[in-house]
Amino acid sequence: MRERFKAEPAEVVCKYLFRPAIMDDNRRSFKNMSDINIAHALMLDREKIIPHEDAQKLLQGLLRLEEKGPEALTLDPKLEDYYFNIEQNLIADIGMDIAGRLHTGRSRNDLQSTLVRMNIRDEVARLIPLIFELRKKIIRLADENKETVLTGYTHMQPAQPISLSYYFCAIAEAIERDYERIFAAFNRMNYSTLGGGAFAGTSFPIDREFTARKLGFNGPVYSALDGVASRDYVLELTGVFAILGSTINRFANDLYIWTTDEFGYIEVDDSVAACSSIMPQKKNPITLEHIRAKTSHLLSGFVSVFGTLKGAHFGHSREVSETFTMFWESARQLEIILELLNATLETLKVKKEGMEDKARKNFCVVTEIADELVKTENIPFRVAHKIVGNLVRMCLDAGLDSSQITTALVNEATKEVTGKETSWSEEHATEVLSPSGSIHGKLSMGGPSPKECGIMTGRLSSGLDKDRAEFQEKISHFAKEREALHEEARAASKS
């Protein structure tokens, strides 16, 4: 294998490059490497590229090797990579004359890029159920809080009353889009590069469609060069992870602010909080803090992959393979983020009374006064806006909050602008100034009324069910193809 060289790999190369990669692959790649080798051997037999008797012995050796498992392998970093270690273990079992035929019609380059696509496919498939769980929890919170009134904010200032359900529906809808991006990227990367050779294909009459299908791929990457050179799927996946992280960061930031004494809207469970070493009264929402910090690591992963690919030539090199290092770290960070957020939401306590009380007092409801003046007094909205602006100024000057607004005050502000008083009764002013009444009146599509929130939670639940079914169909397809691959291999090894 290293006949071209006069020296063995340096210890520093083995220590920092070969050994860590081989050990990681033995932990992560054994099953997929075995499947690739079996599929390739079946194809070589099917296309009569190697003698059938040799293919039988080769398949028998591969099946034995798989049955023994990764723990039984003898690993040597001086063999450079995991594939050569697998090959040497196979040679030790069935001899060079048979095992040496396995590499016919392929290169380490197309083999490795196919292997990584399968490994990444497995990892994304492992993360997706955590996203489903997050969506489910948020939809449940939305469903439970259609009548929970709180202040909605723009520019982080009290704006208009909304329901907590309305807020959670918006978050769930955003995460649904984030999931769609991830699943689309998952599908786009599910193409095989096996048979692309080092980068220029092969003169052997291989069947790339066959091996792609047997390994559960949608098909082969048509261009051999593109298949070996491209790492855009790593860039895309780390990118969509970072986009999901951005949504989660903004969500976690809101929850974090709402846990403060100044807001007091929610409380995290003791099981996901930490105490102070000196201040016994403290209850620190640490999961939200870690979530906010870790979403920045997702961005770092994307930037690192982008930087690694920038300037790399469009072919094979170890340089482009360094992108995988940051993918695995991004995937790990996303897993932690999702697990922590799911645990936090599972036991989240909502303080409904305090939310509505703040909404009654912080002037978020006064836009309703302007709207009601338009409806009942037949005045332009811009005039109504001016009236309410005067009304708020009058209240602030008098030290009043919005719960203390009376019909007399509305009339005084209206008369200051129009010279006329309103036709409102005291009961009418109280009704207009009700935060709950405000959200019940917002019946426009996608608004915060309980009715519209019910429609949104229904749509979100249906979307989650559809996405789960589509994902499960894909996972079932992978499992069926793998089972069929091994059945065919066992049959071919005996016939």
| Listed range (47-56, 174-183, 253-262, 321-330) with the worst mean pLDDT | 321-330
Any idea what the CATH number is for the domain that residue 426 is in? 1.10.40
- For residues 304-332, give the mean pLDDT: 87
Residue 155 lies in a domain: no
CATH number, domain at 68? 1.10.275.10
Q: Give the whole-angstrom CA distance, residue 31 versus residue 483.
A: 13
Q: Is residue 128 scored above 60 in pLDDT?
A: yes
Is residue 6 pLDDT above 60, yes or no? no
172 shares a domain with 79: no
312 and 385 assigned to the same domain: no
Report the pLDDT value the prediction gives residue 4, as an integer from 0 to 100: 66
The Cα angle at residue 200 between residues 196 and 201, in degrees rounded to 5: 45
* pLDDT, position 8: 80
The backbone region for 378, taken as left when phi is positive above 0, alpha when psi lies in -120 to 50, beta otherwise, is left
| pLDDT of the residue at 10 | 82
Q: Is the pLDDT of residue 241 over 90?
A: yes
- How high is the pLDDT of residue 27? 87
200 and 318 within one domain: yes
Strand partners, 274: 284
**Residue 112, domain member (yes or no):** no
- Non-local CB neighbours of 354 within 8 Å, separated by 6+ positions: 264, 265
| CA-only gyration radius of the chain, Å | 31
483 domain-assigned: no
Residues 212 and 348 in one domain: yes
- Over residues 24-44, the pLDDT tens digits come to 887 888 999 999 999 999 999
Same domain, 229 and 184: yes
Instruction: Name the domain count of the chain.
Output: 3
User: Domain check: are 165 and 293 in the same one?
Assistant: yes
For the segment 228-244, the average pLDDT, to the nearest whole number, is 95
Q: Mean pLDDT across the stretch 133-141?
A: 98
Average pLDDT estimate for 235-263: 96
Q: Which residue has better confidence, 322 or 333?
A: 333
CA distance 316 to 22: 19
Residue 384: per-residue pLDDT: 94
199-229 pLDDT tens trace: 899 999 999 999 999 999 999 999 999 999 9
Residue 341's CATH number? 1.20.200.10
Q: Is 361:396 a contact under the CB 8 Å cutoff?
A: no
Q: Rounded mean pLDDT of 52-73? A: 94
Mean pLDDT, to the nearest integer, of 467-472?
Answer: 98
Question: 403 in a domain, yes or no?
Answer: yes
Three-state helix/strand/coil letters over the chain: CCCCCCCCCCHHHHHHHHHHHHHHHHHHCHHHHHHHHHHHHHHHHHCCCCCHHHHHHHHHHHHHHHHHCHHHCCCCHHHCCHHHHHHHHHHHHHCHHHHCCCCCCCCHHHHHHHHHHHHHHHHHHHHHHHHHHHHHHHHHHHHHCCCCEEEEEECCEEEEEEEHHHHHHHHHHHHHHHHHHHHHHHHHCCCECCCCCCCCCCCCCCCHHHHHHHCCCCCECCCHHHHHHCCHHHHHHHHHHHHHHHHHHHHHHHHHHHCCCCCCCEECCHHHCECCCCCCCCCECHHHHHHHHHHHHHHHHHHHHHHHHCCCCCCCCHHHHCHHHHHHHHHHHHHHHHHHHHHHHHCCEECHHHHHHHHHHCCCCCHHHHHHHHHHHCCCHHHHHHHHHHHHHHHHHHCCCHHHCCHHHHHHHHHHHHCCCCCCCHHHHHHHCCHHHHHHHCCCCCCCCHHHHHHHHHHHHHHHHHHHHHHHHHHHHHHHHHHHHHHHHHHHCCC
Same structural domain, 348 and 388: no
> Is residue 321 located within the same domain as residue 382?
no
Most confident range (mean pLDDT) of 26-40, 83-97, 330-344 is 330-344
Instruction: Give 170's pLDDT tier (boundaries 50, 70, 90).
Output: very high
Domain termination site, one of 303, 325, 352: 352
Bridge partners of 189? Answer: none
Cβ pair 457, 142 in contact under 8 A: yes
Average pLDDT over the chain, rounded to an integer = 93
pLDDT of residue 495: 77
Q: What domain range includes position 407?
A: 366-433
- The predicted pLDDT at position 319 comes to 79
287 in any annotated domain: yes
Residue 461, pLDDT above cutoff 60: yes
pLDDT tens column, 412-454? 999 999 999 998 988 888 898 999 999 999 999 999 999 999 9
Decide which of 433, 449, 473 is a domain's last residue.
433
